[in-house]
Amino acid sequence: MAFINENTNNSAVCSVDQYDMLNVNVTADQLIDLVDVLKNKQGFIYLTDICAAHYPEKVGAEFEVIYHLHNLIENQRVRLKVALAESDINIPTLTVHFVGANWMERETFDFYGVNFVGHPDLRRILNMDDMDYHPLRKQYALEDETRTDKNDTFFGR
Amino acid sequence: MVKVVESPEGVEGQGFFATSLDKVIGLARANSIWPLPFATSCCGIEFMATMGANYDLARFGSERLSFTPRQTDLLMVMGTISKKMAPVLKQVYDQMAEPKWVLSVGACACSGGIFDTYSVLQGIDKVIPVDVYVPGCPPRPEQIIEGLMKIQELAKNESLRRRDTDEYAKMLESYNIEQAK
């Protein structure tokens, strides 16, 4: 499943295999060129998903933006991971290569606050427009903070 | 044998029947409730089953469903309402003409259900006044029918002046709903 080991390009790109899926860790600068090669030369023409993860314990690389690409003809998938620090949470937008990245990046921005540089319309997509925080970051609780009627004894607290 | 609704008490004679207006209007309203199925999630599927031939909501007078609030009496909210959807729900409620009733079907519409999260509205009674709550996750069609029957009782026994009273106006104000005059 992971025979695409010709890491086709240039510089320091490390790749790790987990569950037979190729994971490639890149930096934000290398991302666009790597996706260019993967899409135009290697046939990864389908962007499955863009999401993010928040690791507050990894100081300096708290946010990880994850791209899943799929080669439909050879049935190969690859995962690209870009680590971003909380202080500089900017990453170039993938809308130059995939039109579908538009809404996926808006969702990632909505929930994690990742700033996609060059995105045509970066605003919230699933949450309310007047929400002032990014809910899936680890410091925010899942529960609705505005409830007044929760009796703690029933909730086992 | 088709069962027809009982007529109210009144004075009957050759060619006329005299009874109180309240009772006749109540009877008419109760037995011809046209619902608006505001079905968002799984409870909507249970509602589809309720409208089907097996449980048949149409025999209670709800033959004509409509997805436009302008022509309906009953807003049936079935399913999880997210906070982003709440203003839309309020607008749909505002567009309905009086007299109108609201039936909240399912745990999510009644109180947020199991989704105690930042994105789910914890009960539609945070934005619109609700007449009958049907709990369940999802409630069986029989329970939805019972909810409708309770609305029928409310419609039948409601005073004709209720929507004009100060109490009603105050209640709507507490929800920040402007009463159309």
Does residue B23 fall inside a structural domain? no
Please state, in angstroms and rounded to a whole number, the distance separating the CA atoms of residues B28 and B26. Answer: 5
Tell me the residues of A at the B interface, defined by beta carbons under 8 Å apart.
126-128, 135, 140-147
Please state, in angstroms and rounded to a whole number, the distance separating the CA atoms of residues A17 and B181. Answer: 68
The domain locations on chain A are: 14-117
Cβ neighbours of B123 in A, within 8 Å: none
What's the CATH number where B91 sits? 3.40.50.12280
**Count of alpha carbons within 13 Å of B125, Cβ hemisphere only?**
16
The answer to whether the complex's ipTM is over 0.85 is no
Q: Between chains, do B118 and A135 touch, taking CB under 8 Å as contact? A: yes
Q: Where are the alpha helices (DSSP H) in B8-85?
A: 21-30, 42-51
Work out how many domains chain B is built from and give that number. Answer: 1
Q: Between chains, do B118 and A145 touch, taking CB under 8 Å as contact? A: yes
Please state, in angstroms and rounded to a whole number, the distance separating the CA atoms of residues B36 and B47. Answer: 11
pLDDT at A25 (0 to 100): 84
Tokens of A69: 């690409």
3-state secondary structure (DSSP) of residue A54: strand
3-state secondary structure (DSSP) of residue B106: coil
* pLDDT per position as a tens digit, B45-89: 999 999 999 998 998 989 899 899 999 999 999 999 999 999 999
Q: Order of strands across the sheet with A63-71? A: A14-18, A21-26, A76-84, A63-71, A46-54
Q: Between chains, do B122 and A146 touch, taking CB under 8 Å as contact? A: yes
> Cβ distance A29 to A10 under 8 Å?
no
- CA quadruple A45, A50, A56, A59: dihedral, nearest 10: 40
Please state, in angstroms and rounded to a whole number, the distance separating the CA atoms of residues B180 and B140. Answer: 36
E-only strand ranges, B72-146: 74-78, 101-105, 132-134
Out of A127, A140, A146, the one facing B84 most closely (by C-beta) is A127
Nearest CA among A15, A86, A13 for reference residue A55: A86
Looking at CATH, the fold of the domain delimited by A14-117 is given as Beta Polymerase; domain 2 (3.30.460)
Q: Is it the case that residue A1 has pLDDT exceeding 50?
A: no
> Cβ distance B106 to B139 under 8 Å?
yes
Q: Is it the case that residue B149 has pLDDT exceeding 50?
A: yes
Out of A135, A142, A147, the one facing B122 most closely (by C-beta) is A147
How many angstroms separate the Cα of B42 from the Cα of each of A31, B45, B78, B99, B121?
41, 5, 8, 28, 16
Does residue B28 fall inside a structural domain? no
For B152-163, b where at least 16 C-beta lie within 10 A, e where not — what string? bebbbebeeeee
* Range(s) of the domain holding residue B80: 34-172
Q: Between chains, do B112 and A144 touch, taking CB under 8 Å as contact? A: yes
From B117's Cα to the closest Cα of chain A, the distance in A is: 4
Please state, in angstroms and rounded to a whole number, the distance separating the CA atoms of residues B73 and B32. Answer: 9
Cβ neighbours of B120 in A, within 8 Å: 144
Q: Between chains, do A135 and B119 touch, taking CB under 8 Å as contact? A: yes
Tokens of A112: 């994690």
> Which of B83, B114, B118 has the most A C-beta neighbours within 10 Å, making it the best mutation to test the interface with A?
B118
Q: Is it the case that residue A12 has pLDDT exceeding 90?
A: no
Cβ neighbours of A145 in B, within 8 Å: 118
Q: Between chains, do A144 and B84 touch, taking CB under 8 Å as contact? A: no
Q: Is it the case that residue A109 has pLDDT exceeding 80?
A: yes
pLDDT at A10 (0 to 100): 59
* pLDDT per position as a tens digit, A48-63: 999 999 999 988 899 9
Does residue B82 fall inside a structural domain? yes
> Cβ distance B38 to B86 under 8 Å?
no
Number of H helices, E strands in chain A: 2, 7
- More confident site: A122 or A21: A122
- CB contacts < 8 A, A to B, total 27
Q: Between chains, do A128 and B118 touch, taking CB under 8 Å as contact? A: no
Does residue B17 fall inside a structural domain? no
Please state, in angstroms and rounded to a whole number, the distance separating the CA atoms of residues B56 and B60. Answer: 8
Average pLDDT over residues B132-138: 93
